[in-house]
Structure 1
Amino acid sequence: MFRRRNNSNNCQEDDSLQRDAKVNELKAAIGPLSGRSLKYCTDACLMRYLEARNWNVDKSKKMLEETLNWRSTYKPEEIRWHEVASEGETGKVFRASFHDRYGRTVLILRPGLQNTSSQDNQIRHLVYLIENAILNLPDGQEQMAWLIDFTGWSLNTNVPIKTARDSANILQNHYPERLAIAFLYNPPRIFEAFWKIVKYFLDPKTFQKVKFVYPKKKDSVELMKSYFDVENLPTEFGGRATLQYDHEDFSRMMAQDDVKGASVWGFDNKLIHVSKGCMGTEVSPDPVPLALPAS
């Protein structure tokens, strides 16, 4: 909607003013907020919803209200690692120890390591890790990157179509403009049939962010390397780093992040129990009421 011209400071300033005006318009359309909804609806958040709906305030308002309703019932910020840790035992989805060239948090997905059959728990695990990726974004960065490794993938380990559809809907409807890029590395030919169905669940903006990378296709490899330093990129993705997932170490890190997340969302006044278990450190906060004072 807005055009930027690098050789014109005035044009950039005009764009910024127009964006700010749209944010204020959306803010007014939503009306007064409190508790977690107020904490969630930052100016940057409103900007993402506007961007996702091409700066149409009415459509952005509808989208945001649907997200606020979803968050009030699903409560993604309340999910704790010990509740979903069994889903992560194989390292099928985890936050990488490195960032991309733009400082974005990176999630690594390895669908060939699927280890459970509960679709609800699989989605809950993914939502937890999306929230965790956002929690660990550096200042000034709003988006994450996904690297998807198809080693070991088969139709037997593939998630059901319904799970793929529900996951896609949550990502694009409730985390708009959070995904910067998703690289699908060397998917087998049989995946193409599955993709032909899944792609219809994606809106055009999300679809454009999905990139297929094949080791023998130089252009796709160079595109991925423009986002990642090969020294950080695991060998599974054509890089030089060794990919190691230690579930106990990752569990301890997630437990620490649960404490950080509780602080961010204003759970500081609730007693957080920390105990040692077979999975490492676990964090089990007391139930939190829906409406909390904004900090």
Structure 2
Amino acid sequence: MPQDPPPPDEGDPFDLVFHVGASGLEEDTDSERLLEAIRTLRSRLENECSINEAGELYEEFRGWCTDSCLRRFIVARKGDTDKAFEMLIEALKWRHKRQPHLLSAEDPAIMNGGRTGKAYIAGFDRWKRPVVVLDNAAENERDPTAIVTYTAFNLEFAVAEMGL
């Protein structure tokens, strides 16, 4: 049985247990250190908007780069905003290439993947996060691109369910 996360005023906001336990996902529990890291990362994104590809990607996906989103990248890199920036830019490049936000349930790859029930949201955990089940035994697709597309669609849907 998983342990409850530490109260928000305890624990390191960059610690994985703190993050996975969802304490780090609530804006009102952010420490000043985490808030400063979010401001630093956002400032770097804003400053690079007119300079290079990173700025162009940020402009394209500005709406996706919410504080909650930036918080996840910062926590994933234990507060290192340089590493979080690099990771975020790679994610933005992937989003630009794959366009997961434009996928719809009517897309052939999504419809084909959905026929077997190989991926679904099985409810929510105790912190109200969606639990995505990927059933490899129900795999019916041989095209790796279609598999990535279907997985991306389901993860985008799950994140939307979190309301972040």
TM-score, normalisation: structure 1: 0.40
Partner of 1:39, secondary structure, is: coil
Using the TM superposition, give the Cα deviation of residue 40 of structure 1 relative to its aligned residue in structure 2, in angstroms: 0.9
Using the TM superposition, give the Cα deviation of residue 5 of structure 1 relative to its aligned residue in structure 2, in angstroms: 3.0
Structure 1 Cα separation of the partners of residues 86 and 131 of structure 2: 29
- Structure 1: any 5+ residue segments left out of the alignment? 7-12, 143-295
Pair 1:135-2:150 in alignment: no
Code of the residue aligned with 1:69 in structure 2: it is K
Q: Which residue of 2 aligns with 1:117?
A: 142
Partner of 2:61, secondary structure, is: helix
Code of the residue aligned with 1:21 in structure 2: it is E
Corresponding residue to 2:32 among 6, 11, 17:
17
Which deviates the most, 44-53 or 103-112? Answer: 103-112
Corresponding residue to 2:111 among 81, 85, 89:
85
Pair 1:107-2:122 in alignment: no
Structure 1 Cα separation of the partners of residues 34 and 125 of structure 2: 27
Greater strand proportion: 1
Which deviates the most, 75-84 or 34-43? Answer: 34-43
Q: Which residue of 2 aligns with 1:42?
A: 66
Code of the residue aligned with 1:22 in structure 2: it is A
Code of the residue aligned with 2:80 in structure 1: it is N
- Structure 2: any 5+ residue segments left out of the alignment? 1-7, 12-27, 50-54
Using the TM superposition, give the Cα deviation of residue 36 of structure 1 relative to its aligned residue in structure 2, in angstroms: 4.4
Superposed CA offset, 1:159-218 (max 9, x none) = xxxxxxxxxxxxxxxxxxxxxxxxxxxxxxxxxxxxxxxxxxxxxxxxxxxxxxxxxxxx
TM-score, normalisation: structure 2: 0.70
Q: Give aligned pairs, total.
A: 129
Superposed CA offset, 1:133-155 (max 9, x none) = 11112x4xx6xxxxxxxxxxxxx
Greater helix proportion: 2
Pair 1:56-2:80 in alignment: yes
Using the TM superposition, give the Cα deviation of residue 100 of structure 1 relative to its aligned residue in structure 2, in angstroms: 2.0
Partner of 1:18, secondary structure, is: helix
Q: Which residue of 2 aligns with 1:5?
A: 10
